[in-house]
Amino acid sequence: MEKKHSGWEAPGTMVLVFLLFIWIAFLYFGNWVTLSQAWGMR
């Protein structure tokens, strides 16, 4: 691969931050699931 990747400036980073995004979303939603054991506080 000689030239830049299909015109992307930093494709590797794009993949990395996308993984980061998935990870944050996973933690975020995963934690909400744990709330199902709630004590009915309102």
Judged by the rule CB under 8 A, the positions of this chain that interact with other proteins are 1-5, 7-17, 20-21, 23-25, 27-28, 31-32, 34-42
Cα–Cα–Cα angle for 3, 7, 10, rounded to 5 degrees:
90
Supply the minimum distance, in Å, between the C-beta of residue 19 and other proteins: 9
Q: How far is the CB of 6 from other proteins (least distance, A)?
A: 11
Considering the complex, what minimum distance in angstroms separates the CB of residue 22 from other proteins?
A: 11
Q: Which residue carries 């494709």 as its tokens?
A: 11
Find the helix or strand (DSSP H, E) in which 4 lies: none
